[in-house]
Amino acid sequence: MLELSDVAAGYGGNQVLFGVSLRVGAGEAVALMGRNGMGKSTTVKTVMGLLPASGGAISFAGRPILGLPPYRIANAGIGLVPEGRRVFPTLSVRENLIATARAAEAGRDGQPKAPDWTLAAIYELLPRLAERQRHLGSQLSGGEQQMLAIGRALMTNPRLVILDEATEGLAPLIRAEIWACLERLKQAGLAILVIDKHADALARIADRHVILEKGRVAWSGDTNAFRADPGLKDRFLHV
């Protein structure tokens, strides 16, 4: 579904990604891992077209998307929960959710249309948002903002969601709920690319793991292989 091959990117003269290749199949969940500053968020930004790539190719659902403006990439069916939440501070919770909402497209390739995420469904998933629906984005607590960012991405009814540290700052209970929710989304056929520091939880939902080290893919393989090799964590994720 999403395929990066040999992607290079950076900020100004400062190259951060040196040939990243990875793929997320339809309905698959992939965990992108790595220590702070290894280029995980940069990869996400490059996929979304928020950062120009200096080399390589990216395609989504078979079509090349590299070089397209972000809105066209999003419209192709990618939903983003960005690092740092970035909820709209001057919009109410409800407005945050509906401002960029889109109905699900009729499934391509003869697949049935996935059930629509609606306001009601989001409120059911994250009841806290319903309680705060008239609050402005800026008046939410950190965790509430995080929930809102997730809800907002789902409201675009994507075929692939990218979650960049989506559980940062969430209380343990809520975090658990989010994981459960991701599992359900996966079962409903949604593809997921997830970045998170909770490796154990990731291992429960991810089909495959990709580890970044200094802008390069240092290891990738399926989750069983990841679990089987505790040395991986020591090498790439701890000091």
Partner 1 sequence: MSLASCAAPPVLQLQGLVKHYGRLRVSDDVWLDVAPGEIHALIGPNGAGKTTLIGQIAGEILSDSGRILLGGVDVTGERPHRRVHRGLARSFQITRLIGGFSALENVALCAQALDGSSFRFLAPVRRDAGLNATAIAALVETGLAERADIPAGRLSHGEKRQLELAMALVASPKLMVLDEPMAGLGKAETQAMIAVLRRLAGQAAILLVEHDMHAVFALADRISVLVEGRIIASGPPDAIRADTAVRAAYLGEEA
Partner 2 sequence: MSTTLLLIQTLNGLQLGVLLFLIAAGLTLVFGVMDFINLAHGVQYMLGAYFLAAFAAATGSFALGLVLALGAALLCGVVLERLVLRHLYGRDHLDQVLATFGIILFLNEAVRALWGSAPLHVDIPEAMSGAVRLMPGLLYPFYRLVLIGAGLGVALLLYVLVAHTRIGMRVRAGASDAAMVSALGVNVGRLFTLVFGFGAMLAGFAGALAAPILSVEPGMGDNILILAFVVVVIGGIGSVRGAFVAALLVGLVDTLGRSFSTSLMRLAMDSSAAAQAGPALASMLVYVLMALVLAVRPRGLFPARAG
Ligand X SMILES: Nc1ncnc2c1ncn2[C@@H]1O[C@H](COP(=O)(O)OP(=O)(O)OP(=O)(O)O)[C@@H](O)[C@H]1O
* Phi, psi dihedral angles at 213 (to 5 degrees): -140, 115
Distance, CA of 136 to CA of 227 (rounded, Å): 42
79 binds, among partner 2, Mg ion, partner 1, none (CB under 5 to 8 A by kind): partner 2
Question: Judged by CB under 6 A, which of 23, 135, 216, 233 binds ligand X?
Answer: 135
Give the one entry of partner 2, partner 1, ligand X, none that residue 100 binds, where binding means its C-beta sits below a cut-off of 5 to 8 angstroms depending on kind.
partner 2
CA distances from 163 to 5, 57, 107, 202, 215 (A): 20, 21, 22, 12, 19
Is 89 a binding residue for ligand X by CB under 6 A? The answer is: no
- 93 contact, one of ligand X, partner 1, partner 2, none, CB 5-8 Å limit per kind: none
Q: How far apart are CA 44 and CA 164, in angstroms?
A: 8
Q: How many other CB atoms sit within 10 Å of the CB of residue 113?
A: 11
**By rule CB under 8 A, what string of x and - marks binding of each residue 25-64 to partner 1?**
---------xxxx---------------------------
**Residue 133 within binding range of partner 1, rule CB under 8 A:** no
The verdict on 28 binding ligand X (CB under 6 A) reads no
Angle at 174 between CA 173 and CA 178, to 5 degrees: 120
Question: Is residue 1 within 8 Å of residue 159, measured between CB atoms?
Answer: yes
Q: Decide whether 27 or 144 has the Cβ nearer to ligand X.
A: 144
Strand pairing report for 63-64 and 53-60: antiparallel
Instruction: Tell me, residue by residue from 155 to 174, as one string, x for binding to partner 2 by CB under 8 A and - for no binding.
Output: -x------------------
| Residue 168 interacts with partner 1 (CB under 8 A): yes or no | yes
Binding flags for partner 2, 89-128, as an x/- string (CB under 8 A):
xxx---xx-xxx-x--------------------------
Contact 28, 51 (CB under 8 A): no
Q: Which of 13, 62, 173, 230 binds partner 1 (CB under 8 A)?
A: 173
Q: How far is 230 from 90, CA to CA, in rounded Å?
A: 45
Binding site residues, ligand X, CB under 6 A: 11, 14, 16, 34, 36-42, 83, 132, 135, 139-144, 169
